[in-house]
A and B are shown apart, each in its own frame.
Chain A
Amino acid sequence: MVKFHVKEASGALREIEVPTDMNLNLMEVLKASEYEIEAACGGMALCATCHIEVLEGIGKLNPRTDAELDMLDTLPVVLSNSRLACQIKVTEDLNDVVLRLNNS
């Protein structure tokens, strides 16, 4: 199991705990946690509708691939901590990470 936090619109931190052995990606976990994530392409890094900002712990995550960077580039606003949630694997690396949804 791994625990991470989502900073919600209200500013509150919500703790989410998920298993690491189910081959999940972060987009799937956020969707299952009832967050409004379109994930139009279903996790292929082809639509940029699961844009998140990693507020703490970005260095621990698997790095951005070319495909992810390509898609992020199509967004009007990209920050240095921008990621596509579907490209982040749910592993122990997610422990203590804090993130925020970016629905722009």
Chain B
Amino acid sequence: MIRTDICIIGAGPVGLFAVFEAGLLKMRCHLVDVLPQIGGQLTEIYPKKPIYDIPGYPEIKAHELIDNLAKQIEPFKPTFSLGERVTHVIRNEDGGFEVKTSDNTSITCKVIVIAGGLGCFEPRKPEIADLDRFEGKGVLYFVKNPDQFKDKRLVVTGGGDSALDWTIHLASIAKHLTLVHRNETFRGAPDSAEKVFALAEAGKIDLLLNTNLQAVSGNGHLKAISLVDKKNETKTIEADFLIPLFGLSPKLGPISEWGLKLDKNAIEVNTFDYSTNVEGIYAIGDINTYPGKLKLILSGFHEAALMAQSAFKFVYPNQKLSFKYTTVNGVNAF
């Protein structure tokens, strides 16, 4: 059980900066993010892209901005649950909240700040009948525990970096590995592709190019996978596990079930303090909406500052807040 003042859902740039603004007011933060690393879409989608509209930085690469934010919030000792999705938000008797994650982490907090950006990044799933019946029963979209594939027959599909990297890594663990890719060439890193071709030539893996998934079958647990190639020839191979790796796609996810007022896929907030219709829950950054909303990182930073001023009353109900500049007061670490 984790105890904190503010639970921030989403560790993108705006969620990270919220730690700073909260920290200046002596509020501690715990962040939860479905991705295994901080930075949200900046590190997941475009780490090497330059951003030109961060005040004070004529140009900064996305991952550098995240590195800087991580450094900036260090004095306030934030804690993290990464690779976990928030599943439940429960109101406690004392007015605070209990936040529960997909890994059964429980976070007790006084305030929730949703800085969820585009929502949760979820794996893209191939459109195959019955695939969902085998999810968790042989069909996996993430590799969390490579050792579970020991002595198992494994099929990996996809042609990007993650398909190549996991094929190389798991080739030596699994009893048998087949990589299925729809094209003739890979678009992942060239040296990874070379390694995969070398593994295939050495007979360490089966490489099926110009081939697509067609069907999955089994009896409770996955047993076989049917494939079809470009000449429309089909074949079925036996497999214990199928790992489709087609990248991630953002979905609003469980956020839509917490009683918050939504407008399309965004959370409606009051621009006075970026509070939602549920007392004690705020929404900042790309996930919120209000008249005139601009989805800019700098807007999210501003929203984080106003949120913190307002959230103070839930964390320190008996104290009066006096605003101080960092130039006067400095940054007082925890």
Contacts and interface: CB of A to CB of B under 8 A. Distances in A.
Contacts of A74: 124, 158, 160, 246-247
Nearest to A70: B187
B250 A38 contact: yes
A69 B187 contact: yes
B43 to A, nearest CB: 12
Contacts of B160: 70, 73-74
A78 B158 CA distance: 12
B250 A49 contact: yes
Interface string A64-92: 00000110011111100000000000000
Interface in B192-232: none
Interface string B242-278: 0010110110000000000000100000000000000
Chain B binding site: helix, strand, loop or mixed by DSSP? loop
B41 A41 contact: yes
Contacts of A16: none
A48 B46 contact: no
A77 B49 CA distance: 27
A47 B246 contact: no
A78 to B, nearest CB: 7
A76 B126 contact: yes
Q: Secondary structure of the A side of the interface? A: loop
A55 interface: no
Chain A's interface size range is 10 to 19
A75 B46 contact: no
Interface in B90-118: 118
Which among B124, B249, B264 has the highest number of chain A CB atoms within 10 Å? B249
B187 A47 contact: no
Given A46-B45, A104-B124, 14 more contacts: A38-B250, A40-B45, A40-B249, A41-B41, A44-B49, A47-B45, A48-B247, A49-B250, A73-B182, A74-B246, A75-B124, A75-B246, A76-B124, A104-B127
Interface of A: 36, 38, 40-41, 44, 46-49, 69-70, 73-78, 104
